Structure 1
Amino acid sequence: MLSLANSEENEIEFNGIFYNVDTSFNNIIKVINFCKEKIDNDEFFYRVFFELMLDEVPDLGRLDENNKNYSDLVNGLLNNFIFLTKVDDVVEHDLSGNPLPQKYISKNKSDYDLDFDADLIYSAFMQTYGIDLIDQQGKLSWSRFNALLNSLPNNTRFVQVREIRTKELPKGKGTAKERRELLKAKKKFALPGQKIEGKEEENE
């Protein structure tokens, strides 16, 4: 979470060693995408995750003896730097039975996707703030990016598309035309894998 009173944190301590954390927004998007994947190899998951997040990969040592610690570090990074929280009690585990960070991501539902809606987000930042997100890669932090993203005004196409995705279909007499138009828009702007519920009403 962004704080106006304190400087942004970009360091984490693990087993007495401090590591620098890459909190640039584009890197965090890579981390989120990686955590969405199904990884069956514990060592591969931890190594790639730490390579993305930290300036140096912790000594994995004997992985079977240290999985709990590594899992705690992963979850600490997700909580403190990506601000993801558990949304239900369904927990995914690694091969040793320790909870994996997918529980923070795969169960999350949203009305936008950072990759699928990249064009809309980019243009909205340019329109509203005059910020070129491509030029800001490696510079703009994830917390600042989120603060700006969540404050985009209604006159941006990105916010309008999000509203279309979440707006309820009208019901009742005389709403058939409006319902058809909204349903058509929902299908046009649907996220990958999103199921659009509802059907057109034949009578006005």
Structure 2
Amino acid sequence: MFSKLDISTQLISEVYIGDKEYTIDMAFDNILRFIRLLGDEKITDANKIKIGIEILLDEKLDYDFETLIKIFKQLIAIIFDTDTEEAKEDVVYDLAGEPLPAEFQKKEKEYYSLTEDAQYIFSSFKHYYNIDLFEEQGELDWRKFKAYLNDLGSDTKFSEVVKIRMMEIPADATEAEKNDIRKLKAAYALEGSQNDIENGALDLAQKQIIAQKMYDEMMRKEEENE
């Protein structure tokens, strides 16, 4: 998938929709723009799908909404690498062999947010790699960005903040030490993790598919009753 970094091949950003080839804008700042869109509560789910596709492909697609939902789902699977074989192996199934609903699936908790932690990420890239992310906008590929992010040194602010969030309060700590840790964790607490955003994108696509099916069924019954 595109979000995986394979140094044995060239980075590919093309995808076929129907019989036409499109180029996904995989610049890290464009993907972050897409992620911010997903978290914007002022925008309806339907508009998030339409605007999200336009952000990723830099083009409005003239398809019916049901097809747009499928395209959106395909694109977020590419961006977030959600349909790899590794992911499939982690799916939890019921006794009938069907995947359990998303809320029952095991998901590894993440302790960062690409949007909320933007200042820590910027300063850490500059400190550790001497990379100015503002200067790299439109240039640095999302897959390279994620690889850099995952390998930031322990002496960076981003790594320090993540470590604080992951920190357990020792049982043998004094009450004063426990309070200090609680205050520190509260100071760096997240409103939502990166996992929340990615799972929310998947849920958005699934909800819209269900809503579209319900709408189609309602229209079919109305036609039968005419």
| SS in structure 1 at match of 2:123 | helix
Would you say 1:192 and 2:191 are equivalent positions?
A: yes
Quick one: distance in 1 between partners of 2:44 and 2:108? 21
User: Residue in 1 aligned with 2:167?
Assistant: 167
Q: What is the deviation of 1:193?
A: 6.4
User: Residue in 1 aligned with 2:77?
Assistant: 79
Gaps of 5+ in 2: 92-99, 194-226
In the superposition, the TM-score normalised over structure 2's length comes to 0.68
Counterpart code for 2:14? E
User: Residue in 2 aligned with 1:57?
Assistant: 60
In the superposition, the TM-score normalised over structure 1's length comes to 0.75
Quick one: distance in 2 between partners of 1:108 and 1:52? 28
Quick one: distance in 2 between partners of 1:158 and 1:150? 10
RCO (CA 8 Å, sep 6+): is it higher in 1 or 2?
Answer: 2
Quick one: distance in 2 between partners of 1:141 and 1:90? 30
Question: Cα 1:193–1:3, aligned 2, differ >3 Å: closer, same or farther?
Answer: closer
Counterpart code for 1:178? E
Question: Cα 1:126–1:41, aligned 2, differ >3 Å: closer, same or farther?
Answer: closer
Would you say 1:25 and 2:28 are equivalent positions?
A: yes
| SS in structure 2 at match of 1:145 | helix
Would you say 1:89 and 2:101 are equivalent positions?
A: yes
Question: Cα 1:108–1:46, aligned 2, differ >3 Å: closer, same or farther?
Answer: farther
Q: What is the deviation of 1:56?
A: 2.3
Q: Residue 18 of structure 2: which of 15, 18, 27 is its match?
A: 15
Identity of aligned residues (%): 30
Q: What is the deviation of 1:40?
A: 4.0
Q: What is the deviation of 1:45?
A: 3.1
User: Residue in 2 aligned with 1:102?
Assistant: none
Cα RMSD of the aligned pairs, angstroms, is: 2.5
Question: Cα 1:59–1:160, aligned 2, differ >3 Å: closer, same or farther?
Answer: same
Larger helix proportion of the pair: 2
Task: Say whether the 8 Å CA contact 1:165–1:189 is kept in structure 2.
Answer: yes
- The count of residues paired between Structure 1 and Structure 2 equals 172
Question: Cα 1:120–1:165, aligned 2, differ >3 Å: closer, same or farther?
Answer: same
Question: Cα 1:128–1:187, aligned 2, differ >3 Å: closer, same or farther?
Answer: same
